[in-house]
Amino acid sequence: MTQMENNGESKAKKPNILLISLPYQGHISPMMQFAKRLSSKGARVTIITPFSANVISDNNSINIEYVSYDHEEGQVVLTVEDYMANIEKRASDKLVQVMEKQRSSCGRAFDVLVHDSLLPWGVDFGHEHGLRVAVFFTQPCAISAILYLVHRGVIKCPVEEGTDLSSFLPDEIPISHVKDLPYDLYHERYPGSVDMMGNQFLNVHNADWIFFNTFLGLEDEVVNWLSSKWKIMTIGPSVPSMFLDKRLADDRDYGLSLFKPEGEACIKWLDEKDTDSVVYVSFGSLANLVQDQMDEIAWGLLNSECNFLWVVRDTEKSKLSEKFIEESADRGLIVNWCPQLEVLAHDAVGSFMTHCGWNSTLEALSLGVPMMVLPQWTDQTTNAKYIVDVWKTGVRVKAHDKESITREDITKSVKDVMEGTKREELKTNALKLKEMAIEAMSEGGSSDKNIDDFISEIVNPTTST
């Protein structure tokens, strides 16, 4: 679809869209990327993000409004419910301010509120303020289907080891082991987290649109299952365009980051390495590995005799021994944060050891990089199952029946993914999914068409079904 101005639409008919995400990097990034896609198709876009975010690229077509989620002085947040209630209060207040600002400065209101699915109050809020509402799921359809069953009471938590999952999971979800379910369903990390995740579906049936950051060809069976419940639209992968269809000029990063990447050092180091010789290791923005895990990963990487680039946040660096840092200096680079997409796209990177967060998973799939999976919590355990057994683009570092990982596990996984016939199979499968991801976001692709249809339904409400 060409931009509306090229189609002769009047300036006043441009869709005016307001977006808000949960204040985590894994939620901000795909929402920001969706905002850029909407803007590229002629929409006026405003996105509300945490005040502490660092703007790392220019995008003058998107209005960014900052909101602070800091707790009031003396306020004690003890539960997930308290935490989410604070977000609701701060976010809803900010939304009202932004809507009033929009009316006073432009003389017109927003048309649509797009909100993170973990802010379920957004449906009623938007409708009460005269907006149509779109729910944006930043998690895969498989996770959403499982959590929907939790919300409906079909799945009772905690799910005990040995439970026959076929008694409540549809055939479209190929999971037979309890530890392949989302982590909190069998070992709730924080009291209230299961309810919070299930609450995504409180008002979803009242939404005007339901978006998923996934693409056809990746989760077709479960997409069809969810489509039997609601009219859903796949609009992903929400990855910067220059790593996919290349239609958005200079779109090389998400544009907002809670961390400052050490990009120049990473790329310069990779430039000096041979093709497919580097293991990239990152466990995301939230994971906190215990000391034993850090030790085993460190020495397992060193014993693999492969080059490695390891992202270790400043808060975690004290867990690395001086002996390891000294002995790994010739083959390893340890950084606080890095431009992950540029790293995954680099010819020197042959594999990715990951926690299996959905953004990281989509990025690896979109760039055709085989993975070693070491999930920590939330949706990561299920994403790992799909990577290893459904998409067959990675290997599992630790078996289900093992309590902890060993350096031998790490070394074996690295060798499996970096060498021999196993690597060939994983790389072939990864490249096939890369092509599907590019096709989905290219002009006329499934996700691109869904975004076009969304824009069209805003401009011409009578076309909406």
| Residues 56 and 106 both lie in one domain | yes
Q: Which of 111, 115, 116, 184 is catalytic?
A: 116
Q: Do 209 and 191 sit in the same domain of this protein?
A: yes
Could you give the number of structural domains in the chain? 2
Q: What is the DSSP string of 322-336?
A: HHHHHHTTTTEEEES
Mean pLDDT across the chain, nearest whole number? 91
pLDDT tens-digit map of 384-437: 999 999 999 999 998 888 888 999 999 999 999 999 889 999 999 999 999 999
Give the integer Cα–Cα distance in Å for 147 and 226: 12
Do both 291 and 210 map to the same domain?
A: no
Measured over the CA atoms of residue 437, residue 438, residue 441 and residue 444, the dihedral's sign is negative
pLDDT for 130-162, tens place per residue?
999 999 999 999 999 999 999 999 999 999 999
- Any idea which residue has 């977006």 for tokens? 19
Same domain, 212 and 313: no
Taking alpha carbons only, the member of 406, 367, 361, 362 closest to residue 384 is: 361
Q: Is residue 292 located within the same domain as residue 387?
A: yes
* 417 and 323 share one domain: yes
Q: Taking 70 as the threshold, does the pLDDT of residue 259 lie above it?
A: no
With a pLDDT cut of 70, the percent of the chain lying above it is 92
Task: Tell whether 267 and 353 lie within a shared domain.
Answer: yes
More confident residue, 5 or 192: 192
Q: Estimate to the nearest angstrom the gap between the alpha carbon of 407 and the chain centroid.
A: 28
Q: Residue range 20-45: average pLDDT?
A: 94
Query: Does 108 score more than 90 pLDDT?
Result: no
> What residues does 48 pair with on adjacent strands?
20, 65
Q: Closest Cα partner for 27 from 136, 181, 189?
A: 136
Is there a catalytic annotation at residue 116?
yes
For residue 67, the domain's CATH number is 3.40.50.2000
What amino acid occupies position 196? Answer: M
Asked about 27 being catalytic, the answer comes back as yes
Inform me whether the pLDDT recorded for 296 exceeds 90: yes
What's the pLDDT tens digit per position in 334-364? Answer: 999 899 999 999 999 999 999 999 999 999 9
**Enclosing domain of residue 378:** 262-338+348-437
With 90 as the cut, is the pLDDT of residue 9 above it?
A: no
| Whether pLDDT at 280 is above 50 | yes
> Do 333 and 273 have their domain in common?
yes
User: What is the predicted pLDDT for the residue at 110?
Assistant: 96
Radius of gyration of the chain (CA): 22
| pLDDT 10s digits, 212-227 | 999 999 999 999 999 9
Same domain, residue pair 31 and 164: yes
By percentage, how much of the chain surpasses pLDDT 90?
78
pLDDT at 57 over 60: no
Confidence of residue 56 (pLDDT cuts 50, 70, 90): very low
Tokens, residue 58: 């220019």
Has residue 6 got a pLDDT over 60? no
Q: Are residues 125 and 200 in the same domain?
A: yes
Query: Is there a domain that residue 343 lies in?
Result: no
Domain assignment present for residue 267? The answer is yes
The stretch 311-322 carries a mean pLDDT of 92
Rounded to 5°, angle at Cα 45 from 41 and 47 = 135
Whether residue 270 sits in one domain with residue 184: no
- Largest Cα–Cα separation, the chain: 67
Residue 258 has what pLDDT?
64
At 92, the pLDDT band (50, 70, 90 cuts) reads very high
| Domain presence at residue 217 | yes
Does residue 178 surpass a pLDDT of 90?
A: yes
CA angle, corner 311, sides to 179 and 304, nearest 5? 75
Q: Give the phi and the psi of residue 56 in degrees, each rounded to 5.
A: -115, 5
Whole-model pTM: value is 0.93
